[in-house]
Amino acid sequence: MSKKVLIVGGVAGGASTAARLRRLDENAEIIMFERGEFISFANCGLPYYVGGAIVNRKSLFVQTPQSMKKRFNLDVRIHSEVVKIFPSEKKVEVRSIQKGENYFETYDYLVLSPGAQPVLPDIKGLNLPNVFSVRNVPDSDAIKQFIDAHKPATAVIIGGGFIGMEMADVLHQCGVKTTVVEAADRIMNLWLDGEMATTVQQYINKKGIELVLNDKVAVLEGSSGVERAVLESGREISAEIVILGTGVKPEVWLAEDAGLVIGSTGGIHVDEYLRTSNEFIYAVGDAIEVKNMITDKYELMFLAGPANRQGRLAADNIAGRPSKYSGSQGTAIIKIIDMTVAVTGANGKSLSNSGIPFLACHIHPASHAAYYPGGTQMSIKLFFTPDEGKILGAQIVGFDGVDKRIDVFATAVRAGMTVFDLTELELAYAPPFSSAKDPVNMAGYVASNILLKDIEVVYWKDVPALVSGGAFLLDVRMPSEVEAGAVNGSVNIPVDDLRNRIEEIPKDKVILVYCQVGLRSYISNRILKQKGFIVKNISGGYKSFQSQK
């Protein structure tokens, strides 16, 4: 007997479920409901369409109702909203938006993929016509049409998360003077540690995007539209367009009304097979909470890759092919003007909150061989366990080659690899692409040195207290580098002069050593340690120190 499967919502999770299920079961009756017009579109490409990088609007649409019908024999019903689930009767009530009529459909299995909805802050003036959210195709069309028609000179973006920063990039590329207002003390605070976020912020400010941190928009003022944003601090910022980048939240009202369990995160709770609390109802995508494979805690992760994978696995399970979802690690990447920011796994905040012991190291390698033209510097922070060195996460900020390095780290996290494994990886090398010791290898070497106790590492946040306690701060860079900037109270002895000037270094104090990025200070550590000094290496060198500001 063939199964009847209803799918609520398309895009990544729902469309993936439908296509996979058809590939596994040619006889199943599959009906997909989408309350909007578009069932499968490149959600993540919307900002680039608004900014003009993607010219052809049609290229955003992965599948249409017609193409899904022709290829997969699916019954796709757009402008159709499921308004109620009756779990005991295994049926749903559907409202045809165009006809204005309600009807019922029964099911053997139901898959929920309703996605997420924008978080709307409590701000007066939010309903003015030049205030926009960014969630779907109509939203993006409205923003693009407004920019093309009105040519706004100034913009305020409320929120400095991924959505906010993508739109800041878009508006900047459109020549709009843009200000980002973020309530936290840094942008992308859920993803990046402080020093990594600071590197991004310094770049953004240099490029002309203004960041206002630790402040909130209180009121949007204007007559026929927003003209200015008034902050809680009292500051007023000119704004001819306002973009809400305050994040999204799972859309769970349908599941909640049906009596399904909603997790503590606010997302629909599912088991490892992506089943809800009802055995005949599955849920995938942005609406569910997923287990973080590092911290083992449930989280919300609004990412396309996991949603696609969840859709595939839900279809497997409905088709009688048991498949478990092992959790998500939160791999993400963003372009901001010319800079690339990428993360995978846990960060310092999430590890600390979860009570997981960890160590971290910082390196600042070139994207490819230094002697080949065009190389750029990237900053890498690697997290690992203090016992066996299991990799817990990584963050990278840079320009060229960030994407391929984060993918290696993401694979390493998924595979349960250690930092020692990173040193063994044989990665593609030619001068235009990398160095013989790839940045991934280098991160492994630095972390391995810490675990093997070849060096003892400290972080800049700990240095002031150590110096106050009597530690000796040693700068082993060249004098020309020191003239360009140094840490107050440090003593400069270049690494190549260290052996000849060793008597200038006190043996009765802890020696804290730094250079520009960490290599020369590592060499200095090895020299001093073998000569009987108590010495510690400051992670990331002066480059990381500059990111503390």
Residues with catalytic roles: 44
Give yes or no for a contact between 479 and 491, defined as CB atoms under 8 angstroms apart: no
Neighbours of 97 (CB within 10 A): 13
Q: Helix, strand, or coil here: 257?
A: helix
Residue 271, both tokens = 């088991």
Q: Write the secondary structure of 167-185 as one string of H (helix), E (strand) and C (coil).
A: HHHHHHHCCCEEEEEECCC
Residue 223, both tokens = 């007559």
Give yes or no for a contact between 518 and 364, defined as CB atoms under 8 angstroms apart: yes
Phi and psi dihedrals of 31, rounded to 5?
A: -120, 130
Phi and psi dihedrals of 342, rounded to 5?
A: -140, 145
Give yes or no for a contact between 334 and 353, defined as CB atoms under 8 angstroms apart: no
Q: Write the secondary structure of 435-482 as one string of H (helix), E (strand) and C (coil).
A: CCCCHHHHHHHHHHHHHCCCCCEECHHHHHHHHHCCCEEEECCCHHHH
- Cα–Cα distance, 438 to 443 (Å, whole number): 9
Task: List Cβ<8 Å contacts ≥24 apart for 439-444.
Answer: 439/363, 439/365, 439/366, 439/367, 439/378, 439/380, 439/401, 439/405, 440/405, 440/408, 440/409, 442/363, 442/365, 443/361, 443/363, 443/380, 443/382, 443/394, 443/409, 443/419, 444/419, 444/420
Give yes or no for a contact between 92 and 86, defined as CB atoms under 8 angstroms apart: yes
- Cα–Cα distance, 1 to 178 (Å, whole number): 59
Residue found under tokens 């912020």: 201
Residue found under tokens 């939203």: 139
- Cα–Cα distance, 55 to 210 (Å, whole number): 28
- Cα–Cα distance, 87 to 174 (Å, whole number): 49
- Cα–Cα distance, 21 to 390 (Å, whole number): 37
Phi and psi dihedrals of 313, rounded to 5?
A: -70, -35
> In what side-by-side order are the strands of the sheet with 359-363?
332-336, 339-345, 391-398, 379-384, 359-363
Residue 199, both tokens = 């590197």
Residue 20, both tokens = 């996979």
